[in-house]
Amino acid sequence: MMTGAILGGSSVQQAAKLQMVIMFMITASTTLAAILTTICSLSVIIDGECRIRGDRIFDRSQSWFMIRDTDTLKTIGRVKYALFSRVPFIKTRKPEAAAPEANERSRLLA
């Protein structure tokens, strides 16, 4: 922005002041957001008697960690296997057959 102001015909001092104002505004907004987030978090976690309430903190994994628990990665693995199974220099893991497990269970239960 400072370069644009100088190329636009402003003086160097005015462009530098404008750049400083913008940088201070960015710093102030970041600081304000951090303070408000901390205050909101503390108001939820700490009760009226200054105790930390563990029951208000939930231990559920976030959405970006939940992807690994879904079938998405399994589907991606199957697509990779289907695409690269014919290429000899890429080693892929073949899917395990479910039939032997069923036979073992039936023998044990019989």
Instruction: State whether 17 and 41 are in the same domain.
Output: yes
pLDDT (tens digit, 9 = 90+) per residue, 30-39? 999 999 999 9
Instruction: State whether 70 and 52 are in the same domain.
Output: no
Q: Which domain holds residue 86?
A: 63-109
Instruction: State whether 69 and 33 are in the same domain.
Output: no
Instruction: State whether 50 and 67 are in the same domain.
Output: no
Of the two residues 74 and 15, the one the predictor is more confident about is: 15
**pTM (2 decimals)?**
0.46
**Dihedral, CA of residue 84, residue 87, residue 91 and residue 97, to nearest 10:** 60
Instruction: State whether 51 and 6 are in the same domain.
Output: yes
User: What percent of the chain stands above pLDDT 70?
Assistant: 62
Instruction: State whether 51 and 69 are in the same domain.
Output: no
4 SS3 class? helix
Instruction: State whether 7 and 47 are in the same domain.
Output: yes
DSSP assignment of 21-76? HHHHHHHHHHHHHHHHHHHHHHHHHB-TTS-B-GGGS--PPPHHHHGGGSTHHHHH
Query: How distant, in Å, are the alpha carbons of 7, 46, 56, 65, 66 from that of 60?
Result: 52, 19, 12, 10, 9
* Number of domains forming the structure of the chain: 2
- The answer to whether 81 touches 95, Cβ cutoff 8 Å, is yes
pLDDT (tens digit, 9 = 90+) per residue, 41-91? 888 889 888 888 888 777 665 666 666 666 666 777 777 777 776 655 555
In this structure, what token pair is assigned to residue 75?
């589907």
Instruction: State whether 33 and 69 are in the same domain.
Output: no
Predicted pLDDT at 34 = 96
Predicted pLDDT at 2 = 78
Instruction: State whether 51 and 67 are in the same domain.
Output: no
DSSP assignment of 67-78? GGGSTHHHHHHH
Instruction: State whether 73 and 50 are in the same domain.
Output: no
Pick from 34, 56, 78: which residue ends a domain?
56
